[in-house]
């Protein structure tokens, strides 16, 4: 009975973290990351200012950041779901400690997720208080995906997903690392407002195969505290360099992940995993191209983040399928 509760709660946490990732992407891409200039409340409230009197009081409190209700509610809904995820992870960790002698029930990954999610909350706070600092925004995205990976591993191991595949684990680990780097580059592109750097031009950029690009300035990770990064601070060539790096690295990632998918499809035990990874890879490439060609439509850009998370999940699932059962 305890193992059933643990397994169900673990899968609920996986669904919840996936929702938090999508909400975070939607909030960021709709330029609502500073919809609330304070943390954890919003203009000093538990929810967000809705009535005229509340909005006037909030504007007086933060004259440099007038209330935009359509942004504030998005930011707060994201925080509510993140808070529920934190609570769920802590309960799951408590159950793991309680039943840690049960060899079937995993506990290390969920315990690490519980500690890690506290750091993730700090990144969420710094995202606001440091005014969308790119390294923090990118770290917050990666932290959400790392939390999802740990919770997914916990849920799959608790569900008996193990063994049966002969794909080398090192090959899968490389795939996970490459996908994670590509996601980081995507986060860096978004945080520096470089998605439009090529002006809806694909496969060339600014009608050139090698446009002017400033790679030195593009990847300066720390520029001090106090700068407002909303809208970006880099010039055109630096943003172009970021955009091109994200594109070029995608070719390397796609090649390796496609190889993994084909290897998985050759084995009956992992055929469906391979099909899922291959389908998600193709869809992700198409969404990336659509982002450029159609000027970053909100639903396409949000889906691009969601499919990245789903691809990472599928690779973690395949890794679990290649790992022997605990003894």
182-192 per-residue burial string, b: 16 or more CB within 10 A, e: under 16? bbbbbbbbbbb
**Rounded to the nearest 5°, which phi and psi values hold at 219?**
-120, 35
Listed residues 160, 179, 202: the one ending a domain: 160
**Rounded to the nearest 5°, which phi and psi values hold at 104?**
-75, -30
- Tokens standing for residue 110: 């969920």
CA distance 312 to 277: 9
**Across 291-297, average pLDDT:** 92
**Across 212-224, average pLDDT:** 92
Please write the tens of the pLDDT for every residue from 92-113.
999 888 877 765 667 788 889 9
Residue 326's pLDDT band (boundaries 50, 70, 90)? low
* Structural domains counted in the chain: 2
pLDDT(80) > 80: yes
Which residues, in sequence order, are CB contacts of 158 under 8 Å at separation 6+?
A: 3, 6, 7, 10, 104, 105, 106
Are 175 and 152 contained in the same domain? no
Q: For residue 327, what pLDDT is reported? A: 57
Q: Which domain holds residue 197?
A: 162-327
Q: For residue 107, what pLDDT is reported? A: 79
Q: Is residue 149 within a helix (H) or strand (E), and if so which, with residue range?
A: helix 134-158
**Across 180-201, average pLDDT:** 94
Residue 54's pLDDT band (boundaries 50, 70, 90)? confident
Are 96 and 170 contained in the same domain? no
Listed residues 114, 130, 160: the one ending a domain: 160
Are 83 and 20 contained in the same domain? yes
**Across 52-74, average pLDDT:** 90
Are 113 and 5 contained in the same domain? yes
Are 147 and 204 contained in the same domain? no
Are 153 and 210 contained in the same domain? no
Are 176 and 118 contained in the same domain? no
Are 82 and 120 contained in the same domain? yes
β partners of residue 45: 42
Are 73 and 35 contained in the same domain? yes
Q: What size, in residues, is the chain?
A: 327
Per the prediction, the chain carries an average pLDDT of: 91
- What is the distance, to the nearest Å, from the Cα of residue 121 to the centroid of all Cα atoms in its chain? 14
Please write the tens of the pLDDT for every residue from 120-167.
999 999 998 888 999 999 999 999 999 999 999 999 988 888 776 678
Are 124 and 50 contained in the same domain? yes
Are 110 and 65 contained in the same domain? yes
| 45 catalytically annotated | no
**Across 21-31, average pLDDT:** 93
pLDDT(256) > 90: yes
Are 219 and 283 contained in the same domain? yes
Listed residues 114, 139, 160: the one ending a domain: 160
Q: Indicate the Cα dihedral angle 104, 315, 170, 184, nearest 10°.
A: -120
Q: Of 175, 183, 147, which Cα lies nearest the Cα of 315?
A: 175
Catalytic residue among 45, 68, 75, 217: 75
pLDDT(85) > 90: yes
């Amino acid at each position: 009975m305890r193992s059933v509760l643990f397994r169900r709660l673990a899968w609920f946490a996986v669904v919840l973290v996936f929702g938090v990732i999508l909400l975070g992407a939607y909030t960021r891409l709709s330029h609502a990351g500073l919809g609330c200039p304070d943390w954890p409340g919003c203009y000093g409230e538990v929810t967000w200012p809705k009535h005229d009197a509340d909005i006037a009081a909030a504007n007086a409190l933060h004259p440099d950041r007038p209330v935009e209700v359509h942004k504030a509610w998005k930011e707060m809904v994201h925080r509510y779901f993140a808070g529920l995820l934190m609570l769920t992870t802590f309960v799951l960790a408590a159950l793991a400690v309680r039943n840690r002698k049960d060899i079937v029930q995993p506990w290390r990954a969920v315990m690490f997720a519980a500690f890690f999610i506290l750091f993730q909350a700090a990144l969420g706070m710094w995202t606001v208080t440091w005014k969308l600092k790119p390294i923090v925004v990118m770290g917050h995205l990666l932290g959400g995906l790392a939390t999802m990976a740990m919770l997914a591993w916990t849920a799959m191991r608790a569900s008996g997903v193990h063994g049966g595949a002969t794909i080398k684990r090192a090959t899968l680990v490389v795939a996970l690392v490459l996908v994670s780097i590509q996601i980081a580059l995507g986060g860096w592109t978004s945080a520096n407002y470089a998605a439009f750097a090529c002006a809806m031009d694909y496969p060339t950029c600014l009608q050139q195969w090698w446009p002017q690009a400033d790679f030195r300035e593009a990847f300066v990770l720390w520029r001090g505290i106090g700068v407002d990064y909303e809208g970006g601070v880099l010039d055109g060539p630096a943003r172009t360099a970021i955009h091109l790096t994200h594109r070029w690295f995608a070719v390397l990632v796609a090649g390796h992940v496609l190889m993994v998918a084909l290897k998985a499809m050759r084995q009956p035990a992992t055929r469906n995993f391979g099909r899922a990874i291959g389908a998600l890879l193709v869809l992700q490439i198409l969404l990336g191209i659509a982002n450029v060609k159609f000027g970053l439509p909100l639903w396409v850009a949000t889906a691009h983040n969601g499919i990245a998370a789903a691809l990472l999940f599928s690779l973690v699932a395949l890794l679990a399928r290649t790992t022997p059962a605990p003894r």
